[in-house]
């Protein structure tokens, strides 16, 4: 019988970058244009089938904070990895994501993570340069554009994270 | 609750239990679910199996067990069923107790407030971003505009100012299109240009011609003429398109322009001669008025704004029969300008394409606004530098000038007498009298 693992994964990023939409796209394969801000945390489960095992990802979709200092770091307790999300049309959200990563690392050590530059479907408003992305990848990070609207990069990101989080 | 009366404590307990839908889970040290109770169905936790792993049945506990910190609190957790609960965990004698308190209403109220605040922030961000983009576009537009201004300024030098103006103001469409209009056409060329400029370096000729054309074009523009083209040393100007003051005024403007050109040319000749240019420019001018086709001729890729027709050719022909320094105009032009010029009819000529007999008139003088004939006397050759503008002469110098001229004539006559005594008398056809480049010459 294939072993079933269960791993807690947190969604992290500034507000309105699309964390909830990415989870909805990933778990329910739907996308909604309307914006509904998350309060506290919303918990979802998604089963990922890997070649040698099955992983239940318990997705903690954490509210994006206006002020990252008010972010509750204790919500990451027990997380096996996290998805950092920035909005590719708002460069300031990349700064938020990067400082969140620093805080997580300071409190919990180097956890596996992926960095999604979301809303890649809004190409005309895209505001993050290729050079910046290349610079981030030089750290050995998994950085990809994604779109909860089209689904681009979504499954790959979660699957990659599931593999690494499951060890 | 000790400080409260028993009835109140009971009531509060009842209120909390029901209003906050209190439910609990009990997890043992082996992380198995060993107890559960309260409003479990409110959180979608009705079908629990005691004795089995807790995190498999209540997956929101994943990562929280075993409890590292007690008590531990996770506020506002939205569960699968859509309800939001505050999760309170604490450890008591090896057992982890999980208490769920419903905060859905509170969560919804917070969300409404938070949503408004975020939407406001997003709008501000968007506004700032739009402003930055606008500024960027403005800068790009300004740069593009500067480029266009530079280019159009360069292009403008290849066009008559009126044409440039009418194209760039959007009045004129740049398409192959012509119309029939009554124009006064002016032709001029430099008599014996090749002989005149013989011995000059090409650079010197270029300088002379450019100065001559620059000065003439400025005069044309001042009188409202459209400089059609420069052909070698010839100049073509017309009046009546794209701007017209009416046929009569256009013709008059053309004659005033021609007269001013002659005066300016006399001044230029003085200057050039002083600078060492031996032969002066002697210019012939022809003017005609008639209906022409005017507009853009050529191909869609390369067009010229010009005027064509037999009346244009006639102007060229009149120029060709003019003496150096003279203006010859057609009867049609003369009829329009007779009250501002003194002119004499020449024998009639025939011109190809023109059915009527053409009577040329040689202009003997153009009158100024006060009706006075404008005269300039100018002659330059070996042994003579002569320029006289009677209007410019100071009244106190008149007698001195007369005396000089009288002495000069006497000296010339004495030379003639001496020559007659050594050679048989012969009529000298070369221009020796005070031939004027002006209209009376």
Residue B433: CB atoms within 10 A of its CB come to 9
Please indicate whether residue B79 or residue A70 has the higher confidence score (pLDDT).
B79
Query: Are residues B219 and B302 both part of a single domain?
Result: yes
Cβ contact B55–A45 (<8 Å): no
For residue B227, the distance in angstroms to the closest alpha carbon of chain A comes to: 50
CB proximity A44 to B under 8 Å:
yes
Does residue B328 contact residue B347 with C-beta atoms inside 8 Å?
no
Q: Is the pLDDT of residue B424 over 60?
A: no
- What CATH code is carried by the domain that includes residue B200? 3.30.70.1230
Q: Is the pLDDT of residue A1 over 60?
A: no
From A87-91, B298-302, B379-383, the region with the lowest mean pLDDT: B379-383
What pLDDT shows up at residue B437?
Answer: 41
d(CA B262, CA B190): 12
Query: Are residues B328 and B182 both part of a single domain?
Result: yes
Residue B245: cis peptide before it, omega within 30 degrees of 0? no
Closest CB from A16, A41, A66 relative to B76: A41
- What CATH code is carried by the domain that includes residue B23? 3.30.450.20
Output B378-383 pairs: Cβ under 8 A, ≥24 positions apart.
Answer: B378/B266, B378/B269, B378/B270, B378/B280, B378/B436, B378/B437, B378/B438, B378/B441, B379/B431, B379/B434, B379/B435, B379/B436, B379/B437, B380/B269, B380/B270, B380/B273, B380/B280, B381/B431, B382/B278
Helix, strand or coil, per DSSP, at residue B50: coil
Q: Is the pLDDT of residue B311 over 80?
A: yes
Last residue of a domain, one of B102, B118, B135: B102
CB proximity B18 to A under 8 Å:
no
Structure tokens at B284: 């012939």
In sequence order, the 6+-apart residues with CB closer than 8 A to the CB of A165 are: A7, A9, A55, A57, A80, A81, A112
* Structural domain total, chain B: 2
Residue B431 resides in a domain: no
From B47-51, B93-97, B139-143, B265-269, the region with the lowest mean pLDDT: B265-269
* CATH code, residues A3-165: 3.40.50.300
Closest CB from B77, B121, B129 relative to A40: B77
For residue B147, the distance in angstroms to the closest alpha carbon of chain A comes to: 26
Place of tokens 């609190």: B73
Q: Is the pLDDT of residue B209 over 50?
A: yes
Query: Are residues B97 and B202 both part of a single domain?
Result: no
What pLDDT shows up at residue B380?
Answer: 65
- Average pLDDT rounded to a whole number, residues B83-92: 96
Residue B267 resides in a domain: yes
Residue B242 resides in a domain: yes
Q: Is the pLDDT of residue B101 over 50?
A: yes
- Average pLDDT rounded to a whole number, residues B395-410: 92
Selected for mutation to probe chain B from A16, A27, A39 (highest B CB count within 10 Å) is A39
Range of the domain at B252: 175-413
CB proximity A56 to B under 8 Å:
yes
In sequence order, the 6+-apart residues with CB closer than 8 A to the CB of B350 are: B357, B358
For residue A76, the distance in angstroms to the closest alpha carbon of chain B comes to: 9
Please write the tens of the pLDDT for every residue from A104-138: 999 999 999 999 999 999 998 899 999 999 999 99
The values of phi and psi at residue A42, to 5°, are: -120, 130
Task: Break chain B down into helix, strand, coil percent, rounded to 5.
Answer: 45, 25, 30
Query: Average pLDDT of chain B?
Result: 88
Residue B161 resides in a domain: no
Last residue of a domain, one of B75, B102, B129: B102
Structure tokens at B240: 């009546």
Last residue of a domain, one of B85, B102, B119: B102
What pLDDT shows up at residue B387?
Answer: 75
Q: How many CB pairs under 8 A join A and B?
A: 77
**Which residues does chain A have within 8 Å of residue B83's beta carbon, measured at their own beta carbons?**
none
What pLDDT shows up at residue B440?
Answer: 40
Query: Are residues B191 and B284 both part of a single domain?
Result: yes
Query: Are residues B93 and B188 both part of a single domain?
Result: no
Confidence of residue B392 (pLDDT cuts 50, 70, 90): confident
**Domain boundary assignment for chain A:** 3-165
Selected for mutation to probe chain A from B59, B96, B123 (highest A CB count within 10 Å) is B59
What pLDDT shows up at residue B428?
Answer: 47
**Which residues does chain B have within 8 Å of residue A127's beta carbon, measured at their own beta carbons?**
129
Cβ contact B107–A92 (<8 Å): no
Selected for mutation to probe chain B from A20, A43, A126 (highest B CB count within 10 Å) is A43
Chain B residue whose CA is closest to A76: B63
Please write the tens of the pLDDT for every residue from B191-204: 888 887 888 888 88
Interface of A with B in 128-167 (CB under 8 A): none
What pLDDT shows up at residue B369?
Answer: 67
Pick from B323, B321, B326: which is nearest to B349 by CA?
A: B321
pTM over 0.80: no
What pLDDT shows up at residue B264?
Answer: 92
Q: Is the pLDDT of residue B395 over 90?
A: no
Structure tokens at B106: 């509170």
Confidence of residue B167 (pLDDT cuts 50, 70, 90): confident
Confidence of residue B359 (pLDDT cuts 50, 70, 90): very high
Cβ contact A40–B63 (<8 Å): no
**Which residues does chain A have within 8 Å of residue B84's beta carbon, measured at their own beta carbons?**
39-40
Does residue B386 contact residue B347 with C-beta atoms inside 8 Å?
no
């Amino acid at each position: 019988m294939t072993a079933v693992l269960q791993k807690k994964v947190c969604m992290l990023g500034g507000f309105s970058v699309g964390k909830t939409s990415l989870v909805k796209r990933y778990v329910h394969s739907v996308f909604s244009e309307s914006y509904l801000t998350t309060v506290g945390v919303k918990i979802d489960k998604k089963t990922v089938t890997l070649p040698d095992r099955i992983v239940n990802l318990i997705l903690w979709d954490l509210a994006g904070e206006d002020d990252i200092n008010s972010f509750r770091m204790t919500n990451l307790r027990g997380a096996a990895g996290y998805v950092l999300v920035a909005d590719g049309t708002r460069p300031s959200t990349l700064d938020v994501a990067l400082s969140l990563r620093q805080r997580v690392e300071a409190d919990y050590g180097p956890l596996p993570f992926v960095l999604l530059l979301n809303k890649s479907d809004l190409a005309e408003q895209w505001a993050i340069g290729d050079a910046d992305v290349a610079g981030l990848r030089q750290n050995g990070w998994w950085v990809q554009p994604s779109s909860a609207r089209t689904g681009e990069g979504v499954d790959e990101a979660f699957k990659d994270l599931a593999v690494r989080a499951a060890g | 609750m000790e400080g409260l009366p028993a009835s109140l404590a009971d009531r509060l307990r009842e209120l909390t239990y029901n209003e906050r839908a209190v439910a609990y889970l009990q997890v043992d040290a082996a992380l198995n679910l060993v107890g559960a109770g309260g409003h479990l169905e409110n959180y979608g936790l009705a079908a629990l199996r005691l004795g089995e792993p807790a995190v498999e049945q209540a997956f929101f506990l994943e990562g929280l067990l075993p409890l590292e910190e007690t008590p531990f609190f996770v506020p506002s957790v939205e569960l699968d069923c859509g309800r939001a609960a505050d999760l309170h965990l604490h450890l008591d004698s090896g057992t982890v107790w999980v208490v769920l308190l419903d905060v859905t209403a509170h969560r919804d109220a917070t969300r409404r407030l938070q949503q408004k605040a975020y939407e406001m922030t997003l709008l501000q961000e968007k506004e700032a971003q739009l402003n930055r983009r606008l500024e960027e576009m403005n800068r790009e537009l300004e740069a593009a505009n500067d480029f266009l201004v530079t280019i159009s300024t360069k292009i403008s030098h290849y066009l008559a100012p009126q044409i440039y103006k009418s194209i760039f103001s959007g009045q004129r469409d740049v398409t192959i299109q012509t119309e029939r209009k009554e124009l006064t056409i002016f032709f001029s060329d430099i008599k014996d240009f090749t002989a005149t400029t013989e011995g000059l370096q090409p650079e010197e000729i270029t300088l002379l011609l450019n100065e001559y054309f620059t000065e003439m074009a400025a005069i044309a523009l001042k009188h409202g003429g459209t400089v059609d083209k420069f052909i070698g040393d010839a100049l073509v100007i017309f009046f009546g398109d794209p701007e017209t003051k009416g046929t009569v005024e256009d013709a008059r403007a053309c004659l005033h322009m021609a007269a001013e050109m002659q005066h300016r040319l006399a001044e230029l000749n003085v200057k050039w001669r002083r600078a060492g240019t031996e032969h002066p420019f002697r210019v012939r001018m022809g003017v005609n008025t008639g209906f022409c086709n005017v507009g853009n001729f050529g191909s869609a890729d390369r067009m010229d704004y010009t005027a064509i027709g037999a009346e244009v050719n006639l102007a060229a022909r009149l120029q060709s029969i003019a003496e150096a320094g003279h203006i010859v105009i057609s009867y049609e032009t003369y009829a329009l300008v007779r009250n501002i010029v003194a002119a004499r009819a020449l024998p009639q000529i025939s011109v190809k394409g023109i059915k009527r007999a053409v009577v040329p008139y040689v202009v003997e003088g153009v009158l100024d606004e006060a009706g006075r004939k404008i005269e300039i006397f100018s002659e330059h050759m070996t042994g003579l530098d002569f320029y006289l503008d009677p209007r410019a002469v100071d009244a106190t110098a008149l007698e001195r000038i007369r005396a000089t001229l009288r002495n000069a004539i006497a000296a010339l006559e004495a030379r003639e007498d001496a020559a007659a005594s050594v050679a048989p008398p012969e009529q000298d056809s070369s221009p020796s009298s005070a031939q004027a480049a002006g209209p009376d010459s």
